[in-house]
Amino acid sequence: MVDVLAHAKEKALNEVNPHLMTIATLTGHVVLAYGGYSAVMDNGTAKKESFAHSLQATGDVYGDMFEVLLFACAFFCLKTAYHFPHI
**16-71 pLDDT per residue, tens:** 888 877 766 666 777 777 777 788 888 777 888 888 899 899 989 998 888 888 77
Rounded distance between C-alpha atoms, residue 12 and residue 7, angstroms: 9
- pLDDT at residue 83 is higher than 70: no
More confident residue, 4 or 72: 4
More confident residue, 17 or 73: 17
User: What per-residue confidence (pLDDT) applies to 57?
Assistant: 93
Question: What's this model's pTM, rounded to 2 decimal places?
Answer: 0.59
Burial 17-53 (b: 16+ CB within 10 A, else e): eeeeeeeeeeeeebeeeeeeeebbbbeeebeeeebbe
